Amino acid sequence: MARTPQKSRRVRRARPTHPIITISSTKTTTRTTATTTPLPANTIIVPTAAGDTPSAPTNTLENPTPTLKEPAMDSFTLLPVTIDESSKSLLERPSASPTPGLSAALADLNNLHRSLLQFDNAIPPPPGLINPKRSAQINKLRESGNAAFRKQQFNEAIKLYTYALEMCLTRPPWEQSALVREEASMIYSNRAQANIASRNWADGMCDAEMSCGLKPKDNVKAWYRRALCLKEMGKLEDAREVLEMGSEWEIENQGKTDGDLRALLRDVAKALEEKEEKEKAVAA
């Protein structure tokens, strides 16, 4: 006689709960909860199976590791520290009142220094060092752009100036920022002139503005090119404002190198007068 198959039943087991043990200075209390509640900072959760008795917790807050106390921001504390010239390690000098945690902090710093020396990549040199090869390549690209500009190959000149800018602006951060500003300002001004020759007024204005921002003083060409682009775009008032600003920066060289600025300022002022007369005639 064949047996009738029976349906299998699923037995759902109760999920074990997590007793929460709260450590206090007076006593230890144990409670079981199934909900998520905010816990104080000194609470430790010990997962155990249901029905088990949790082991006695260990209070990790006792005998903490001494740390170097940070002084207030408005105070200065001279620490008794010296350097071992042979091992290049920092050492604590003997003192009548030793600083708590100073030895541990110096040990961590010395361990970090030794671990950095094990890497293949060289540690960055101190500020002030300049890579002469990169400087030579940047100057070569800029001179190539100038040669292309003299041949009236303006698009080629713009491309070469862009390459020079990319190489200049990607210098390592530990090199002198003044050198980067000087190089970038010159290249931006040259690329602005190439854009002006190609009648790319907006691009030329942006390049000249960057050049003025990097080097506002002794940069007459950039101020002139920036104002010229604004004038060609019909922004006469902005052009006059830029020319006046450039003249203020070149106040020490007044009458020497600002001749182009003053000439362009007269042209812009005349164009503004003609514009106002036309507007009055139309309004009448």
Measured CA to CA in angstroms, residue 45 lies from 36, 54, 203 at distances of 12, 11, 63
Grade residue 170 by pLDDT with cuts at 50, 70 and 90: very high
Give the pLDDT band of residue 241 (cuts 50, 70, 90): very high
Q: Round to whole Å and give the CA distance between 121 and 175.
A: 18
- Rounded to 5 degrees, φ, ψ at 179 are -65, -40
pLDDT band at 65 (very low <50, low <70, confident <90, very high): low
Specify the CATH number of the domain 129-215: 1.25.40.10
* pLDDT average, residue stretch 68-80: 68
Give the pLDDT mean for 142-168.
97
**What's the whole-model pTM score?**
0.56
Ordered by start, the domain boundaries in the chain are 129-215, 216-284
Comparing CA positions, the residue from 169, 183, 94 lying closest to residue 140 is: 183
Give the C-alpha separation, 176 to 169, whole Å: 12
Whether residue 23 contacts residue 43, with contact meaning beta carbons closer than 8 Å, is answered with: yes
Nearest CA to 239 among 230, 248, 247?
Answer: 230
Instruction: Tell me the sheet residues that pair with 28.
Output: 23
Mean pLDDT (the chain) is 79
Closest CA to 258 of 223, 229, 232: 223
Note the Cα 164 to chain centre separation in Å: 22
Q: What is the CA radius of gyration of the chain?
A: 37
Residue 32: pLDDT over 50: no
* 25 pLDDT tier (thresholds 50, 70, 90): very low
**Reduced to 3 states, what is the DSSP secondary structure of residue 18?**
strand
Residues 6+ away with beta carbon under 8 Å from 186: 142, 211
Task: Give the pLDDT score at 69.
Answer: 59
Q: With contact defined as beta carbons under 8 Å apart, do 98 and 92 qualify?
A: yes
The encoded tokens of residue 142 equal 């800029």
Mean pLDDT (whole number) for 6-33: 48
| Distance between CA atoms of residues 23 and 13, nearest Å | 31
In this structure, of 50-59, 75-84, 223-232, the range with the lowest mean pLDDT score is 50-59
**Looking at residue 211, what is its pLDDT?**
96
89-92 vs 18-23, strand pairing mode = unpaired
Map residue 216 onto helix, strand or coil: coil
